């Protein structure tokens, strides 16, 4: 399926040239909306911080330790951006913040650099295919890079195994791990010189094989269709919920929808239209037609498909 992204990869190369990609995941301490952080900002000096949405289900002790750890790594990466630009003057530094992160701090850093760029444009996969190397810390894109065969470095200048092994074990272990800037500079230099490829080895293959299913065989969409067809075939034999259950379900679903719509107009909530547009920029009917055509070409599927836009983000595709 890599051919699907060839156009985007070419466009990225034309615009950014040779670049090093930094993917961040500090949405727990640098969220687009403060209510999504582990802790909400305090209004008065000395006031105890209130849990944010990210801390739900955590003890206060755990959440505070996690916050302090993430803040320390966040500081490491803020220092990393200008340091990389200085160390590797022939490369652009592209920073892709997590979709739910605020980009303000990265924009301020990039404004003081000559070759640092901040963007959330498009799917991350073509960016991985276009970059010379990925730098992250516990980011899921480290797993995607491993599967794609892209050299990835986990920059672990701050280490806390209690949190790192719980949240970020997989992407870190599937990458080259560097524990200070000097080690990162040496490792990255070898990658850029063609002396070091993506992290590999039997242990890593076993690890990713345990966590990632179906890397060969039918596509995920084909498996989903098989399950749906089986449900449809068994449909008549399935007992329908009792009328009170159906009515109760209808009230719960519609009541929740009305509450979410009302909340969107209050200051601060994470589901405000501005945030949703930041996280999900949407797609036009023409763009969707183009993507479907590309999939058809790759898969050799010649039947003509019709696309109808039902709502802003809902499309119906039929033969």
Q: For position 81, which CATH number holds?
A: 3.40.50.2000
Domain annotation covers residue 46 = yes
**Would the pLDDT of 270 be above 80?**
no
Cα 209-3-187 angle, rounded to 5 deg: 55
Pick the range with the lowest mean pLDDT from 172-181, 253-262, 308-317. Answer: 253-262
Q: State the pLDDT at residue 223.
A: 92
Q: How confident is the model at residue 268 (pLDDT cuts 50, 70, 90)?
A: low
Shared domain check, 54 and 176: yes
Q: State the pLDDT at residue 116.
A: 98
Q: Where among 211, 232, 258 does a domain terminate?
A: 211
Q: Which of 212-221, 227-236, 301-310 has the highest mean pLDDT?
A: 301-310
CB 118 within 8 A of CB 103: yes
Q: What percent of the chain has pLDDT over 90?
A: 71
Mean pLDDT, residues 40-57 taken together: 89
Which structural domain, as residue segments, surrounds residue 164? 2-211
Higher pLDDT, 245 or 191: 191
Domain annotation covers residue 309 = yes
**Tens of pLDDT along 138-168?**
999 999 999 999 999 999 999 999 999 988 9
Parallel, antiparallel or unpaired: strands 92-96 and 116-118:
parallel
Higher pLDDT, 48 or 137: 137
Shared domain check, 35 and 179: yes
Torsion angles phi and psi, residue 230, rounded to 5: -65, -40
Shared domain check, 205 and 228: no
**Would the pLDDT of 225 be above 80?**
yes
Q: What is the rounded (10 degree) CA torsion for 9, 205, 152, 3?
A: 0
Q: State the pLDDT at residue 166.
A: 86
Q: How confident is the model at residue 61 (pLDDT cuts 50, 70, 90)?
A: very high
Enclosing H/E stretch for 164: helix 161-167
What does the radius of gyration of the chain's CA atoms come to, in whole angstroms? 23
**Would the pLDDT of 267 be above 70?**
no
Q: Where among 211, 227, 246 does a domain terminate?
A: 211
Shared domain check, 105 and 163: yes
Shared domain check, 187 and 119: yes
Shared domain check, 234 and 161: no
The interaxial angle of helices 60-87 and 104-111, nearest 10 deg, is 20
132, two tokens:
């010379």
Enclosing H/E stretch for 177: strand 176-178
Shared domain check, 250 and 185: no
Domain annotation covers residue 276 = no
Shared domain check, 81 and 229: no
Domain annotation covers residue 307 = yes
Domain annotation covers residue 265 = yes
Q: State the pLDDT at residue 10.
A: 97
Shared domain check, 221 and 91: no
Shared domain check, 168 and 250: no
Domain annotation covers residue 115 = yes
Q: State the pLDDT at residue 273.
A: 67
Shared domain check, 298 and 179: no
| pTM reported for the whole predicted model | 0.86
**Would the pLDDT of 262 be above 90?**
no
**Tens of pLDDT along 81-139?**
999 999 999 999 999 999 899 999 999 999 999 999 999 998 999 999 999 999 999 99
Domain annotation covers residue 14 = yes
Q: Burial level of 253, CB count in 10 A (0-12/13-18/19+)?
A: exposed
How many other C-beta atoms lie within 10 A of the C-beta of residue 51? 16
Report how many domains make up the chain.
Answer: 3
Shared domain check, 319 and 230: no
Q: Where among 166, 196, 211 does a domain terminate?
A: 211
Domain annotation covers residue 275 = no
């Amino acid at each position: 399926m890599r051919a699907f992204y060839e156009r985007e990869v070419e466009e990225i190369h034309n615009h950014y040239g040779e670049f090093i990609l930094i993917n961040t995941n500090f949405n727990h301490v640098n969220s687009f909306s403060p209510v999504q952080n582990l802790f909400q900002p305090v209004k008065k000096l000395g006031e105890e911080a209130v849990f944010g949405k990210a801390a739900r289900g955590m003890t206060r002790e755990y959440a505070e330790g996690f916050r302090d750890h993430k803040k320390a790594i966040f500081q490491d990466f803020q220092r990393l951006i200008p340091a990389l630009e200085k160390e590797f003057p022939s490369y652009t530094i592209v920073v892709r913040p997590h979709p739910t992160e605020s980009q303000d701090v990265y924009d301020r850093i990039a404004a003081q650099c000559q070759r640092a760029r901040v963007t959330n444009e498009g799917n991350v996969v073509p960016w991985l295919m276009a970059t010379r190397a990925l730098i992250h810390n516990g980011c899921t894109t480290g797993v995607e890079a491993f599967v794609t065969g892209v050299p990835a470095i986990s920059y672990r200048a701050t280490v806390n195994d209690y949190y790192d092994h719980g949240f970020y074990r997989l992407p870190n272990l599937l990458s080259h791990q560097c524990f200070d800037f000097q080690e990162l500079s040496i490792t990255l230099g070898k990658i850029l010189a063609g002396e070091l490829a993506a992290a590999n080895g039997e242990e890593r293959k076993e690890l990713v094989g345990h966590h990632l299913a179906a890397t060969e065989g039918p596509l995920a969409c084909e498996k989903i269709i098989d399950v749906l067809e089986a449900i449809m075939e068994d449909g008549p034999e399935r007992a329908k919920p009792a009328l009170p259950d159906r009515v109760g379900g209808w009230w719960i679903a519609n009541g929740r929808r009305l509450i979410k719509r009302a909340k969107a107009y209050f200051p601060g909530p994470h589901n405000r239209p501005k945030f949703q547009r930041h996280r999900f920029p949407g797609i036009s009917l023409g763009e969707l037609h183009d993507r479907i055509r590309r999939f058809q070409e790759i898969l050799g599927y010649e039947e003509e498909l019709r696309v109808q836009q039902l709502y802003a983000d809902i499309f119906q595709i039929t033969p």
